[in-house]
Structure 1
Amino acid sequence: MPELFTISAPPTPALAAAAAATLAPRLLAQAAASDVEGGFPTQEFDWLREAGLLAAPLPTKLNGSGLNEPAHTQELLSALRHIGRGNLAVGRVYEGHANALQLITRFGRPEQLERWAADAVAGHLFGVWNTEAHDGVKLAPLPSGRFRLSGSKTFGSGAGHLTRPLLTAALPDGGWQMLVLPADTQIPEYDARFWRPLGMRASASFRVDFTGLEIGSEELLGEPGDYYHQPGFSGGAIRFAAVQLGGAEAVFDETRRFLRALHRTDDPYQRQRLGQLSILVASGQHWLHAAAELAARPGPDAETLVAHANLVRSAIEDICLRVLPLAERCVGARGLLRPEPFERLHRDLTHYLRQPAPDAALADAGRYALDHPRPAYRLWHD
């Protein structure tokens, strides 16, 4: 359990995003030291705590900054992008923290929200563990009124460091129930052998076995099936897309630094590649801006928000996949050698881009376009 910090004055949404931008160079400088298989960026999250960023996604009435509110989506995506360009592993875990607090804010009973918000303000780290292992997680009611867990999750990012993971579990009737596990007292079994990744080593995304743990009804969040409510379930993809774009920006910055160090900035082919990279990165920034504008605007229905979020995640994945080979051509074989930062940035971004169901996301955006008769200029914006 990390040392906890009490934040007396949460930053405004704009200041929270600015704090993330300020932290990005420190995160980048520390990233190589944290890039250890099975490790975790503990010091980096201490910096986020001190900056008030762990509480920032909470509503202002609960000592947060309101980053998760639709009106402040622009600041949330900016904060995620800046943290991502500092260290994608930190960005991955922080995005899960923001996601968990959004679900708690939406579905928690008042007393639960107050308790878990106080935990976030005190420095507890939240996250969402949803990917089922072969045995899956099940929740069985006991005669005492408590519930017993069994089974496992995989890709439990922040395993051993998240003290308030949010997970889904199957009920005996087949429903899916959210719960927030007090993992500092109900400690699951972590299997680090699962995590032998190409990149994102420091995200500690282990297999987690919950068998034998017991919780009370006060740890159950919402009603069965609430986790999959739209637009929150699919629409949240814009958050991880923001982190990914931050990784692409880091690749861009490192490529430019590398060429300057070699005095290759006058090469016409390098200039052409940097022009192409500039178009790609700026395009991703425009996509995030459009996503934030749509989220903040009153009126879009869940179907529109989900379809547009699927466009955003698909576009930014494509942008990142095009950034990487262009940057490789710029830096050549020399830039791919350790300890050059490019080598780690390339691994981390390549791995993080492998989000689930990319083809289905793009197909859903296409279905929306086919089902709606509005012309292109009004398809996403009435």
Structure 2
Amino acid sequence: MPSVVLLPPSLDPSAAELSRDLLDLARELADKELRPRADDFEARGEFPREIIRTLGRSGFLGLPYSSGYGGADQPYEVYLQVLEILASRWLAVAEAVSVHTLACYPLATYGTEEQKQRWLPDLLGGELLGAYCLSEPAGGSDAANLTTAARLDGDAYVVNGTKAWITHAGVADAYNIFCRTGGPGAKGISCLFADAATEGIEPQPRERTMGLKASPVAQVVLDGARVPADRLIGGEGEGFTIAMGALDSGRLGIAACAVGLAQGALDYAIGYAKERKQFGQRIIDFQGLGFLVADAATQLAAARALTLHAARLKDAGQPYSIEAAQAKLFATDVAMKVTTDAVQVLGGAGYVADHPVERYMREAKVLQIVEGTNQIQRMVIARHLAR
């Protein structure tokens, strides 16, 4: 069952046609370049850098950003549907696009015109790969109390500290480093856009993760790294505001990835259940299994609708933080359930690597953790309701 294409009703005919063409191209690239390679790259644990570069050259790394810097001026609603398509074929690639898009946000939203002209075209075109360094070993979700520190020394900031759980660590060309340039709390945090080749930026060995083997995650140690002062994004003390704004949009990216992963798992399980026969009939015709996939399809449709609703609010310039938290929470929980049920549909066959559903199930788990755990999302939503 292919994902449903929902174009924003506000698009004029020519813009709608462009968006439709983008989605068609995403589907073609996903089928030809992603699906056939996923198992091999995941088995070898190799990051598909050239595939990401190809996506950038095809216009898929700058979809929601300005065409003035090489983006595509696409609504977030369209961008999220592209992520869903990519994730339904290979989650690691969709996650890479989502993280890279997140890494472009500080520069695109708070950068000076000179900074944008200098770095954004190569980021949006895929020649440079970005990473987002917010979490730390002692405080993943407690971003306001991060301890990585930067002091201004002449024309550069000297940065010391350790960042943790950094996607693209060791393969990124640039790192957004959130660090303390002032006093305690959120108001003392700033954002630096650092070249990965900077002396003193030291990616550590990769973490041995449960899933997403093709996506490198590691700590990044900052040992006296001198980052030029002209790489400060926004003003000193604006880092926390930048980080939270980026996470709101990033949570929608993860929600879309979750919807795509769940769709891929459900499609595979349904295909298997139509072919597999027991007791003289297809197993999908047994009510117990039929109800299971019916529930999965319904939950998936609800997750997609919630995610696109939040995207429409963002596109309309309306507040969407709570809706982003709800979408991330619900869609990733649905992905965990749907992928688990997909393994169940295949029975013993679902537990072996001959079928991709066991990988889908392992991959779904991390989506409940990244961009703020689902417990954090519940706290965000509950506090909003309490106000």
Aligned residues: CA RMSD: 2.4
Shift of 1:268: 2.9
| Structure 1 segments unaligned to the other structure (5+ residues) | 1-10, 372-382
Shift of 1:370: 4.5
Match of 2:347 among 321, 332, 342: 332
- Pair 197,122 (structure 1): closer, same or farther in 2 beyond 3 Å: closer
| Matching residue's letter, 1:278 | A
Aligned to 1:21: 27
Shift of 1:262: 2.1
Aligned to 1:375: none
Aligned to 1:93: 96
1:244-263 C-alpha deviation (Å, 9 max, x unpaired): 21111111122122223424
- Pair 325,56 (structure 1): closer, same or farther in 2 beyond 3 Å: closer
- Pair 229,192 (structure 1): closer, same or farther in 2 beyond 3 Å: same
Q: Which moved more, 1:23-32 or 1:276-285?
A: 23-32
Aligned to 1:365: 381
Matched, 1:66 2:98: no
CA contact 1:291–1:312 (8 Å) conserved in 2: yes
Shift of 1:191: 1.6
Aligned to 1:321: 336
CA contact 1:54–1:125 (8 Å) conserved in 2: no
CA contact 1:38–1:192 (8 Å) conserved in 2: no
| SS of match in other structure, 1:283 | helix
Match of 2:295 among 276, 283, 306: 276
| SS of match in other structure, 2:135 | coil
| Matching residue's letter, 1:89 | A
Matched, 1:141 2:156: no
Aligned to 1:374: none
Percent of residue pairs identical: 20
- Pair 63,201 (structure 1): closer, same or farther in 2 beyond 3 Å: same
CA contact 1:57–1:64 (8 Å) conserved in 2: yes
Match of 1:48 among 45, 55, 78: 55
- Pair 123,36 (structure 1): closer, same or farther in 2 beyond 3 Å: same
| SS of match in other structure, 1:338 | coil
Q: Distance in 2 between matches of 1:311 and 1:344?
A: 25
1:111-132 C-alpha deviation (Å, 9 max, x unpaired): 0011111322362111212111
Match of 1:130 among 113, 131, 134: 134
Q: Distance in 2 between matches of 1:187 and 1:17?
A: 41
Shift of 1:74: 0.6
| Structure 2 segments unaligned to the other structure (5+ residues) | 1-16, 139-145, 278-282
Match of 2:314 among 273, 295, 300: 295
- Pair 204,353 (structure 1): closer, same or farther in 2 beyond 3 Å: same
| SS of match in other structure, 1:192 | coil
Shift of 1:157: 0.8
Q: Distance in 2 between matches of 1:197 and 1:282?
A: 29
| Matching residue's letter, 1:78 | Q
Q: Distance in 2 between matches of 1:224 and 1:19?
A: 41
| Matching residue's letter, 2:129 | L
Q: Please list, as runs of the form range in 1=range in 2, the aligned pairs for 1:219-298 lying within 5 A after superposition.
A: 219-229=231-241, 232-236=245-249, 237-263=251-277, 264-298=283-317
Q: Distance in 2 between matches of 1:294 and 1:196?
A: 38
| SS of match in other structure, 1:212 | strand
Match of 1:31 among 33, 38, 61: 38
Q: Distance in 1 between matches of 2:168 and 2:285?
A: 44
1:197-231 C-alpha deviation (Å, 9 max, x unpaired): 11112110111112132111111111234343287
| SS of match in other structure, 2:224 | coil
CA contact 1:258–1:335 (8 Å) conserved in 2: no
CA contact 2:307–2:324 (8 Å) conserved in 1: no
Per the normalisation by structure 2, the TM-score is: 0.83
Aligned to 1:377: none
Q: Which moved more, 1:163-172 or 1:34-43?
A: 34-43
| Matching residue's letter, 2:135 | T
CA contact 1:57–1:101 (8 Å) conserved in 2: no
Matched, 1:196 2:208: yes
Q: Distance in 2 between matches of 1:54 and 1:289?
A: 19
How many residues of Structure 1 are paired with residues of Structure 2 in the alignment?
351
CA contact 2:342–2:350 (8 Å) conserved in 1: no
Shift of 1:73: 1.3
| Matching residue's letter, 1:137 | T
| Matching residue's letter, 2:348 | A
Matched, 1:119 2:122: yes
